Amino acid sequence: MTIHYKTPDELVIMREAGRIVAVAHQAMRDAIRPGVTTGELNKLADTVLRDHGATPAFLGYPKHNSPDYPASICASVNEELVHGIPGKRALKEGDIISIDIGSVYQGFVGDSAWTYAVGEVQPAVQRLLEVSEQALWVGIQASVMPHETRDVAMAIQQHVEKHGYSVVREYTGHGVGRKMHEEPQVPNWWPRGRRQRQNWVSYTLRPGMTYALEPMVNAGRPEVRELSDKWTVATRDRSLCTHFEHTIAITAGEPLILTVP
Ligand code: MF3
Ligand code: CO
């Protein structure tokens, strides 16, 4: 178990890595409209990252028994949750799209995802977006000393379930630094049963810890499955789902949000 605590100098670089991701997200927000393809969004984000001296963290990312990740962003539409591969698919009015962007800048990673509405969406969909974005903010607010990762997880889960949605179990937030995935894991839920919790570790938050919080919320059942492209993950019941993620740094006071402009 090795948590890499960042020095103030390293945090300055991570802040820039995060800022670049945020600028790419601004470009996504501006470009998302009916008719645009996920491949076009990928190209745009890739250009923004490189124009700012960063490289895309996801491109070529390895995964056991799958091809290396073939694009610079993940673009997951409607019932697709994460790791959707951009391509020829054109967005339609009323869709939602989760865009996940990772940068590497001077050796450090920034990682942030957001779910966007395409044009006007139904009120129930707008509600799903609002509650799941709030779940991220609840997790950020809970990311203060002397809390542990369990407190963050429980706060997120409670918020989501209180509103009648479900938290995806299979994926967690994660430490971020020179590598995209470092310790600690930061789950979005916490098992209630003693037996279920057996191998779960809760980490005490300390200044210099940097992690990505990324609640994944399903409108329906929590179960997900991987599609035949070996990357895209979608809800089993084909319900809509969301993904909101920021990379943050723990301090003696409020956490710093690294992936903002
Ligand atoms: N934000 C995602 C994560 O933290 C992005 C990974 S996509 C991959 O796992 F292609 F790089 F795997
Ligand atoms: Co992440």
- Each domain of the chain, given as residue ranges in start order, spans 8-257
- pLDDT at position 112 is 99
- pLDDT at position 207 is 98
- pLDDT at position 114 is 99
* CA 31 / ligand 1 centre spacing (Å): 22
Please say whether the dihedral angle defined by the alpha carbons of residues 153, 131, 182 and 98, taken in this order, is positive or negative.
positive
Q: Region 5-30: what's the mean pLDDT? A: 99
pLDDT-based confidence at 13, cuts 50/70/90? very high
Give the Cβ contact number of residue 167 at 10 Å.
23
pLDDT-based confidence at 55, cuts 50/70/90? very high
* CA 72 / ligand 1 centre spacing (Å): 10
If DSSP codes are grouped into helix, strand and coil, which group holds residue 56? strand
Structure confidence by residue, pLDDT tens digits, 149-160: 999 999 999 999
* CA 240 / ligand 1 centre spacing (Å): 20
If DSSP codes are grouped into helix, strand and coil, which group holds residue 139? helix
* CA 101 / ligand 1 centre spacing (Å): 8
Q: Domain 8-257: give its CATH architecture.
A: Alpha-Beta Complex (3.90)
When the pLDDT of each residue in the chain is averaged and rounded to a whole number, the result is 98
pLDDT-based confidence at 132, cuts 50/70/90? very high
Q: Taking a C-beta distance cutoff of 8 angstroms, is the pair 199, 193 a contact?
A: no
Identify the residue whose C-alpha is closest to ligand 1 atom 11: 58
Closest ligand 1 atom number to CA of residue 111: 1
* CA 183 / ligand 1 centre spacing (Å): 15
- CA distance linking residue 76 with residue 171, whole number of Å: 15
- pLDDT at position 214 is 98
* CA 243 / ligand 2 centre spacing (Å): 10
Residues near ligand 1 (Cβ within 6 A):
58, 61, 69, 74, 83, 100, 102, 111, 113, 174, 212, 245
Structure confidence by residue, pLDDT tens digits, 24-39: 999 999 999 999 999 9
Closest ligand to C-alpha of residue 70 is 1
Statement: residue 1 has pLDDT above 80:
no
Identify the residue whose C-alpha is closest to ligand 1 atom 8: 58
If DSSP codes are grouped into helix, strand and coil, which group holds residue 161? helix
Statement: residue 17 has pLDDT above 90:
yes
Q: Which of 55, 68, 98, 180 to mutate to test the pocket of ligand 1 (most atoms within 8 A of CB)?
A: 180
DSSP-derived secondary structure letter, 12: H
Closest ligand 1 atom number to CA of residue 57: 11
Closest ligand to C-alpha of residue 66 is 1
Closest ligand 1 atom number to CA of residue 180: 4
Alpha-carbon distances of 154 from 118, 170, 204, 209, 257, rounded to whole Å: 31, 16, 14, 19, 20
* CA 92 / ligand 2 centre spacing (Å): 26
